[in-house]
Structure 1
Amino acid sequence: MKILKISILALGTGFCGLAQADVIGVKADASYWFYDGKAQVQPKLNTSSLANQTGVDNLLLNPYAGLSAPEEKLDRKGSAQISLAFEHPIPLIPNAKIRYVNLKSQTEKEIAGQPVYDLNIDHTDFLLYYEILDNIVDADVGLGATKLNGDIKTLNLSKIDIDKTIPVIYGSAGVKLPFTGLSAKAELLYSNFNDTKITDAQAELQYNFIDNLLVDVGLKAGYRILDVKFDDYKSNNVKNDLKFDFKGPYIGIDVHF
């Protein structure tokens, strides 16, 4: 009899948990990222013969060819970043998430009135992931691709077009403080593939000021670090080693339906 009572109680608890679980969920967030960082474009030594040749738009293919390029500090700038995730209870089929930010900045240092480097890059992540924990502690793991599209100008004389899609691994972990509306979360994207290395990490604190069965809405603040390195990146038949990183705090709003 005791065993039967325990079994019924466990079954009832399971059904209650199922009733409260999300059948289909949509998560959206928008934030503003205040970043600075560094950038470097290092021409390959074997391209020195191209130092005075021009490419598209009559821009020099390699004004620093044969020289040691400096690593320069970027101005403090800011940009909106957004993400949208779709989650469901269907077994074996992963959840999906997309993240986007436009990275636009230039170096503090100028020569003849022109910034040493001027960057304008669209950064988009396409992610597929599984929830391995979903309670007070939650955790996700998955795979995806990061697409970088834009350009880097050097002294407004040369331009390197960026158009690259890189496979990445993805993970996130979070914890909720019950009955307070407070939570903490960390996310990481990483890739070291085919002469390209990306590390994209962020951590945040969130407070939900609306928390009910229909929608959760919260304010959040966090810090993000993005580091990108390309070895032997080829543009206009010229190879360069590229390195740029962005880091800084962000604030935003998160909505979960």
Structure 2
Amino acid sequence: MKKITLAFCAALASAGASADTILGFDATLGAWKPAYSGKIGVDNFNVDEFALAEDNVTFIQAALEHPIPLIPNILLAHSKIETNGSTEITDEVTFDDETFRAYSTVSANMSLTHTDATLYYEILDNWVNLDLGLTARMYDGEFNATGQGGIVCIPTVPSTPCGDTQSETIELSGVLPMVYGVARFDLPFTGWSIIAQGNGTSYKGDRHTDLTAKIRWDFVPALDFAIEAGYRSMTLDVKELDALQSDLEIKGPYLGLNLHL
């Protein structure tokens, strides 16, 4: 009877180890607090003048890994980037096909929300980990500007808006192919890791990068939970991605919770 019990326990242990080897799952949920700088529109308007809100950006990514040769692993990620602000312009400014009057008050709403689908291979998998692959980044966003008043408008009552409202919406719905890479260095017996992750592309003068540097601490190793903190920097220098023309930099710290099975 003891032999049967021992054999059964050994079989369970073997099955658990095999399951972990056959399939792996890694997911991170977090919040990113970016600041916005750079230029946008035909006239390269400085977005600093809009004083864009630095609200938290939610992001999630999940990866599924397997040991089958030649078939890539898959990673899905989503970042919801939305902000808004306003300013009084002193000169005429053109966004796409609309030229806004000088001395009008212009409000801006910008969304750079995107979803990534990545196919990658594990090149190294020990205390030094290296993944390389390709990403299709799908944007579902827009830039909207609304103007009121201006130099041609002289209201009879001070501080009372007048004149036709001007508005322009520039959609951002293109797909960008990007190179993907992540390197992780595990510090043995500490539960700490140092991670660098990035996407990038450059084509016909357009350049887009998305880089993250972070540290991870496995604070509950038995439950495969970890907390990570880092800094994310995204640049969007494009002239041909849908109708949007921009040279933007979006960067700031972030905090996330990781689950690895």
Q: TM-score, normalised by structure 2?
A: 0.74
- Given residue 111 of structure 2, which amino acid in structure 1 is its aligned partner? N
CA distance in 1, matches of 2:32, 2:129: 25
Matches within 5 A, 1:213-252: 215-235=223-243, 241-252=245-256
Q: In the alignment, is the contact (CA less than 8 A) between 1:172 and 1:186 conserved in 2?
A: yes
Instruction: Provide the residue aligned with 2:47 in structure 1.
Output: 72
Matches within 5 A, 1:179-194: 179-194=189-204
SS in 2 for 1:75: coil
Unaligned runs of 5+ in 2: 1-16, 90-103, 148-166
Matches within 5 A, 1:82-161: 82-107=60-85, 109-110=87-88, 114-115=106-107, 117-155=108-146, 157-161=167-171
The offset of 1:141, in angstroms, is: 0.5
Instruction: Provide the residue aligned with 1:206 in structure 2.
Output: 216
CA distance in 1, matches of 2:211, 2:64: 21
CA distance in 1, matches of 2:19, 2:188: 16
- Given residue 218 of structure 2, which amino acid in structure 1 is its aligned partner? N
Unaligned runs of 5+ in 1: 1-17, 44-67
Q: TM-score, normalised by structure 1?
A: 0.75
The offset of 1:195, in angstroms, is: 5.2
What is the Cα-based RMSD across aligned positions, in Å?
A: 2.2
CA distance in 1, matches of 2:175, 2:33: 25
Residues 70-79 or 174-183, more deviating = 70-79
- Work out whether 1:253 is the aligned partner of 2:257: yes
* Change in CA separation of 1:147 and 1:177 when aligned onto 2, cut-off 3 Å: same
Cα deviation per residue 1:133-188 (whole Å; 9 max; x = unaligned)?
A: 11111010011211111110123511101110011101110111111111110001
- Given residue 238 of structure 2, which amino acid in structure 1 is its aligned partner? F
Question: How many aligned residue pairs are there?
Answer: 210
Instruction: Provide the residue aligned with 2:160 in structure 1.
Output: none
- Given residue 126 of structure 1, which amino acid in structure 2 is its aligned partner? A
Cα deviation per residue 1:203-232 (whole Å; 9 max; x = unaligned)?
A: 1111101224xx411011010001112214
Q: In the alignment, is the contact (CA less than 8 A) between 2:30 and 2:255 conserved in 1?
A: yes
Q: In the alignment, is the contact (CA less than 8 A) between 2:173 and 2:242 conserved in 1?
A: no
- Work out whether 1:32 is the aligned partner of 2:38: no
CA distance in 2, matches of 1:132, 1:155: 49
CA distance in 2, matches of 1:163, 1:193: 17
CA distance in 1, matches of 2:86, 2:196: 31
The offset of 1:107, in angstroms, is: 3.8
CA distance in 1, matches of 2:84, 2:37: 9
Instruction: Provide the residue aligned with 2:6 in structure 1.
Output: none
The offset of 1:94, in angstroms, is: 0.6
Q: In the alignment, is the contact (CA less than 8 A) between 1:25 and 1:88 conserved in 2?
A: yes
- Given residue 79 of structure 1, which amino acid in structure 2 is its aligned partner? V
* Change in CA separation of 1:190 and 1:234 when aligned onto 2, cut-off 3 Å: closer
